[in-house]
Amino acid sequence: AATRNASRRVVRCAARGNQTRARNELSMRKPEYFRSGLGAPVLALTAVGGLYYLYKRGQEKRSRVFIEPEDRKKVVILGSGWAAVNLLSNINTDAYEVTMVSPNNYFLFTPLLPSAVVGTLQPSSIIQPARRFYKDVRESRVKFFEAACTSIDPEAKVVQCKDDSPIVGEKSTFELDYDYLVVAVGSTPNTFNTKGVYENAYFVKTIEDARRLRNHILDCIETANLPCTSEAERKRLLHFVIVGGGPTGVETAAEINDFMEEDISRYYPALKDDIKVSLIQSGDHLLNTYSEAISIKTKDAFERQNINVIFNSRVVSVDEKEITVMDKQTKENYPLPYGTCVWSTGVSLNPLAKELIASLPEQNNRRAITTDKYMRTKGAPEIFAIGDCGTIEQEKMLAKVTDLFVEADTDKDGSLSLTEVKEFSQRIADVYPQMRIHAKNIPTLFAKHDTNSDEVLSLDEFKELLKEIDQGLTTLPATAQVATQQGKYLATVFNKHLHTTNDLSSAEAFQYNHMGSFAYIGKNDAVMDLKQGAFSGFVTWFMWRSAYITKQYSLSNMASMAFDWTKVLIFGRDISRQ
């Protein structure tokens, strides 16, 4: 009854809200981007799309819940990355008081960061102010604070924040209390405690990383070009080593190699023959999360481009001018003189997330914050963890096999027919997502585990079947794709459920929908791993670019990217060391 009352109150408020909003609607129809009469040509181009968008948005807004400002629950979002901005731009700010806290006042489009390293794109083209993600900037509905969260108190429901930038006021820390906290702080690079990485290698994780790496690369080239540089020293300076054969490592190697072949060789013809790009991979495949066809394709492409791939090797240490590499087969160490080392071997836990895990006895995974299927932190249900820093706990079905058997056995005959198993698999896919992966294979699995071929499964046979399905349990990868879907999902959860209650039992569980993966492999070639198969070549490369242009969150960045790409196509990349 309480819940029903509350929801009635919400509806009443919504009606009231509609009136005040009607007025705002009017001023909203004047698009705020156009500040000057000179935007005419662009205006013409975007008019149709714009009007349609405003119409849709108006419609959407009218169907939204409205809650009086003083009754709104406080939602604090930590971070301004993929997960955070997708939540921010979809959460109903008519129903929640939203505050975002992040040390970066912008969102970074990470997949294109390797392009920004060499100047295929300008760094400014792939970032976007976080404040542009909330729709009613002028009404200051959302608060944004440029600060880092330093600690979370789940008991008191308070976060401590600190201005960690160069300019700080007399007081640089503050507290925020919340009803719901969303932790979307991402991850940090993983060095596997390798000696010298922090001191001597570069990461490709932040926009500052890209700028510093770019200037380092150009500095190596200019130094190699000086008359006082010996031949050995020149070769060392012109050796670019990328550690890690995942997508970021591969793309960075490809972009650096493009830069060398297309631009540096042209302006520094004397250096051309001494330039070398190497990639060190611990396993024997590049892009080993992609299909094998793609690994092979990438290896071949790198061979053709003279990128020196060193397989089955581990970096032991990175000294100032030398990397020590261990050959995993011979177990021998050898030195590799280098000028630039890029470290890209995966991610580890953000310090804040680490602290949160340590403070909650319910948390036992050391690699990410464990959540339920609604992304609620285990042990602190008012805290959500999304994106790289969270991981959804997946229950093994085997643990409850007897109960599940009873549930599946709808005709209560003590054994399960194929139809019963099929229906059962659909019913519980929400609770056990691992089931979803095998949904189409049920007949095959059924046949396989029906060892006595009696067309039904006994409890023991059913056990074996669940065991195999449980093995398919994998945690979701740390990608922008997952983070985006989680951000959007959580916005829906907020917009539908949490206005007045904490109860999520009627909510749908998060369901990841993998759209496929891209990677740029150099020389206008890209690979694409889809359910439908593996693709590569110029057309794929073109799709890669198109996909990333359309994925931008602002017209302004779309235009910048298109401009940057065209400019590089015509004039080449800039070689200024700024």
Ligand X SMILES: Cc1cc2nc3c(=O)[nH]c(=O)nc-3n(C[C@H](O)[C@H](O)[C@H](O)COP(=O)(O)OP(=O)(O)OC[C@H]3O[C@@H](n4cnc5c(N)ncnc54)[C@H](O)[C@@H]3O)c2cc1C
Site for a copy of itself in 97-116 (CB under 8 A): 104-106
- Please identify, using beta-carbon distances, which residue of 255 and 420 lies nearer to a copy of itself: 255
* Amino acid in the structure at residue 344: S
**Residues numbered 81-110 forming contacts with ligand X, rule: CB under 6 A:** 81-84, 101-104, 110
- 517: how many CB neighbours lie within 10 A of its CB? 18
**Residues numbered 150-189 forming contacts with a copy of itself, rule: CB under 8 A:** 163, 165-174, 176
Q: Which stretch binds a copy of itself (CB under 8 A): 280-288, 356-364, 367-375, 570-578?
A: 570-578
Residue 227 interaction partner, one of a copy of itself, ligand X, none, beta carbon < 5-8 Å per kind: a copy of itself
Residue 266 interaction partner, one of ligand X, a copy of itself, none, beta carbon < 5-8 Å per kind: a copy of itself
- Please identify, using beta-carbon distances, which residue of 75 and 478 lies nearer to ligand X: 478
> DSSP secondary-structure letter at 195?
B
Closest distance of CB 287 from ligand X, Å:
11
Chosen residue from 11, 22, 226, 530 binding a copy of itself by CB under 8 A: 226
Residue 80 interaction partner, one of a copy of itself, ligand X, none, beta carbon < 5-8 Å per kind: ligand X
**Residues numbered 133-152 forming contacts with ligand X, rule: CB under 6 A:** 148-149
Q: Which residues contact 77 (CB under 8 A, 6 or more apart)?
A: 84, 87, 88, 98, 99, 100, 101, 182, 184
* Amino acid in the structure at residue 220: C
Chosen residue from 63, 230, 330, 513 binding a copy of itself by CB under 8 A: 230
Closest distance of CB 262 from ligand X, Å:
21
**Interface with a copy of itself, residue 69, by CB under 8 A:** no
Residue 166 burial (10 A CB sphere; 0-12, 13-18, 19+) = exposed
Nearest to 180, CA basis, from 511, 499, 483: 499
Find how far residue 332's CA is from the centre of its chain. Answer: 37
**Residues numbered 523-562 forming contacts with a copy of itself, rule: CB under 8 A:** 554-556, 559-560
- Please identify, using beta-carbon distances, which residue of 162 and 195 lies nearer to a copy of itself: 162
Please state, in angstroms and as integers, the Cα–Cα distance from residue 524 to each residue in 258, 265, 452, 529, 573, following that order. 9, 18, 55, 17, 15
The values of phi and psi at residue 309, to 5°, are: -95, 125
**Residues numbered 340-369 forming contacts with ligand X, rule: CB under 6 A:** 350, 352
Q: Which residues contact 539 (CB under 8 A, 6 or more apart)?
A: none
Closest distance of CB 144 from ligand X, Å:
11
In 238-342, alpha helices (H): 247-259, 265-267, 292-304
**Residues numbered 441-500 forming contacts with ligand X, rule: CB under 6 A:** 478-481, 483
- Please identify, using beta-carbon distances, which residue of 261 and 464 lies nearer to a copy of itself: 261
- Please identify, using beta-carbon distances, which residue of 512 and 553 lies nearer to a copy of itself: 553
The values of phi and psi at residue 266, to 5°, are: -75, -40
Nearest to 468, CA basis, from 408, 406, 365, 396: 396
The values of phi and psi at residue 74, to 5°, are: -90, 125
- Please identify, using beta-carbon distances, which residue of 271 and 416 lies nearer to a copy of itself: 271
Chosen residue from 204, 260, 323, 421 binding ligand X by CB under 6 A: 204
Residue written as tokens 């000028």? 339
Q: Which residues contact 52 (CB under 8 A, 6 or more apart)?
A: none
Q: How far apart are CA 536 and CA 539, in angstroms?
A: 7
Closest distance of CB 195 from ligand X, Å:
23
**Interface with a copy of itself, residue 142, by CB under 8 A:** no
Residue 149 interaction partner, one of ligand X, a copy of itself, none, beta carbon < 5-8 Å per kind: ligand X
**Residues numbered 337-376 forming contacts with a copy of itself, rule: CB under 8 A:** 339
**Residues numbered 158-197 forming contacts with ligand X, rule: CB under 6 A:** 184-186
> DSSP secondary-structure letter at 508?
P
Residue 295, token pair as written in the block:
């690994």
Q: How far apart are CA 54 and CA 482, in angstroms?
A: 28
Binding-site ranges for ligand X (CB under 6 A): 78-84, 101-104, 110-111, 113-114, 148-149, 184-186, 204-205, 247-248, 350, 352, 387-389, 478-481, 483
